[in-house]
């Protein structure tokens, strides 16, 4: 059953995504208190969507299927996060092959499904290897003791706005219009 039109719209978002611009535009167009933005891990955001606790979510690498609508909003470039005094920190950018050529460097897996990536940043800051992650996550988790360098040939990720195929909140279309850049006077 769909939510009533006056029910608040709950939007989950994953680490690195900053929906503040869209929230500001929403609040300019609608009365206060009608949208809630909630940070989640990818797994928690999908669980909230499935349970109906979130009406929409900004997720990584999700495509439309029989259960979800998905609009790809943008792509994220990968970076390698390294300790500030490392060889990687002295480079402007690098490739995966160049990273391997730097020697015996541990590349920590970054779990953006069940975590926000901060565990990997902690290991890097402790000078225990490097981590590869989307640039937005590295920026959100930035610290003075680590640097992020573009990784030219690693796969990028996408951010999509996702919502259920059936039982969508009646205000979903308004939020879609905002993230797509429609003005308040645009007709659809």
pLDDT tens, residue by residue, 146-155: 999 999 999 9
What gap in Å lies between CA 58 and CA 73, rounded to an integer?
A: 9
Architecture of the CATH domain 78-150:
3-Layer(aba) Sandwich (3.40)
Q: Which residues contact 90 (CB under 8 A, 6 or more apart)?
A: none
Q: What is the CATH number of domain 9-74+157-179?
A: 3.40.190.10
Domain boundaries, the chain: 9-74+157-179, 78-150
Residue 109: per-residue pLDDT: 86
pTM above 0.85, yes or no: yes
Beta strands in 40-182 (DSSP E): 56-60, 68-76, 78-83, 107-108, 130-134, 146-150, 157-164
**Do residues 154 and 132 lie in contact, with contact meaning Cβ atoms separated by under 8 Å?**
yes
What gap in Å lies between CA 179 and CA 188, rounded to an integer?
A: 14
**Res. 1 pLDDT band, cuts 50 70 90:** low
């Amino acid at each position: 059953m769909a939510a009533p039109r006056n029910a608040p719209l709950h939007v989950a978002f994953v680490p690195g995504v900053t929906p503040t611009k869209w929230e500001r535009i929403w609040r300019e167009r609608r009365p206060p208190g009608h949208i809630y933005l909630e940070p989640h891990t990818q797994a928690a955001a999908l669980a909230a969507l499935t349970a109906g606790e979130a009406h929409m979510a900004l997720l990584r690498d999700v495509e439309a299927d029989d259960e979800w609508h998905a609009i790809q909003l943008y792509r994220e470039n990968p970076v390698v996060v390294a300790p500030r005094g490392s060889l990687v920190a002295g480079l402007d950018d690098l490739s995966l092959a160049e990273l391997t050529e730097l020697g015996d460097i541990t590349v920590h897996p970054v779990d953006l499904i069940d975590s926000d990536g901060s565990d990997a940043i902690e290991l890097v800051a402790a000078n225990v290897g490097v981590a590869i992650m989307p640039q937005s996550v590295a920026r959100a988790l930035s610290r003075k003791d680590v640097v992020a360098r573009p990784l030219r040939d690693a796969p990028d990720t996408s951010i999509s706005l996702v919502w259920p195929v059936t039982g969508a909140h009646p205000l979903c279309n308004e939020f879609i219009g905002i993230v797509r850049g429609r003005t308040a006077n645009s007709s659809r």
